[in-house]
Amino acid sequence: MSTAVFDCRPCELGEGPLWHPGRGQLFWFDIMGKRLMTPGQEWIFNRHVSAAGWAGQDGLLLATEADLVRLDIETGAQERVAPLEADNPVTRSNDGRADPWGGFWIGTMGKRAEPGAGSIWRYYR
């Protein structure tokens, strides 16, 4: 067996890998660096981003510290879908996954791991 470095860009807190089977493409986050990454490309945000789900062939639903946004992978355009603890500066999104019925589950947490900060959310439309 052999191993190789998949991507040499460092992440301060690399998490949330997502395989998009329709595109044959892997995405992941550098949460503290506020960026979404894929081989050869990255998107930089002005807020923490941490979890994604497919939203069609060319889109991703992203959980940020303040909202859910739809990202157009090809153009980089963002459309706000719903607020997510936008009125709470203590929390950020943490992890998320889609369920078999088309729901997207998101966990939030304190930016400094404050006890009791955070919730679990489900977005379904």
The amino acid occupying position 101 is W
Q: Is residue 7 part of a domain?
A: no
Q: Is residue 115 part of a domain?
A: yes
Q: Is residue 1 part of a domain?
A: no
User: How far is 106 from 90, CA to CA, in rounded Å?
Assistant: 16
pLDDT in tens, 11-50: 999 999 999 999 999 999 999 999 999 999 999 999 999 9
Q: How many CB atoms lie within 10 A of CB 26?
A: 14
Q: Is residue 53 part of a domain?
A: yes
The CATH number for 33's domain is 2.120.10.30
User: How far is 61 from 69, CA to CA, in rounded Å?
Assistant: 6
At residue 88, the pLDDT reads: 94
Q: How many domains does the chain have?
A: 1
Q: Does the pLDDT value for residue 125 go beyond 90?
A: no
Q: Is residue 8 part of a domain?
A: no
pLDDT in tens, 42-82: 999 999 999 999 999 999 999 999 999 999 999 999 999 99
Q: Is residue 5 part of a domain?
A: no
Look up the domain containing 114 and give its range: 14-123
Mean pLDDT on 86-98: 93
At residue 3, the pLDDT reads: 94
